[in-house]
Structure 1
Amino acid sequence: MKNVTISMDDELAQRTRIAAARAGQSVSKYLAEAARRKIEADDAADNDRGRNRQLEAIERILAGPKWSVMEDGRMPTSEERNARR
């Protein structure tokens, strides 16, 4: 376990001591748990943003111009689709 020294203004330090006491924890444990929750929330938000970027990319592809595969008003047969031109 690492020891870390932090600086904060007097009012925040007092409020942190009070909040830790209400939670029945030391200031050190209280701040460590707060940091852990913040990091986990940030990681979850990053994952959500990554998923959203992928979804947006797929939506852009699907919203793009449609390819016309119809020939003479009908779908091509497998032989026509696979014919080398």
Structure 2
Amino acid sequence: MFSYTTYKDQTNEPHFLDACHLCRKPLGNNSDIFMYRGNTHFCSKDCRQEQIKFDANKEKGWKLSSSRRKSDPNKTPPLTKPYGQGLLL
């Protein structure tokens, strides 16, 4: 008889719906599961909202840094100290 199990099925890794993606709280059989972006699962609306905020802030940071690079790629950053520091004797 043929078996259609995959390598992942044979390992002892937990199923992806066993625990909350953020707080790792176990997800019960009869508890609600809150999904985000397709396959990311959470135990509560609060955990899901925290991840949404985190992702939004991360994306804002990426957009900000890419807009800074696009503003003037040939511009060199200003020197903070025009003269070298040394010890006068």
TM-score normalized by the length of structure 2? 0.40
Structure with higher RCO (Cα < 8 A, 6+ apart): 2
Instruction: From the CA coordinates, give the structure whose radius of gyration is larger.
Output: 1
Q: Which has the larger helix fraction?
A: 1
TM-score normalized by the length of structure 1? 0.42
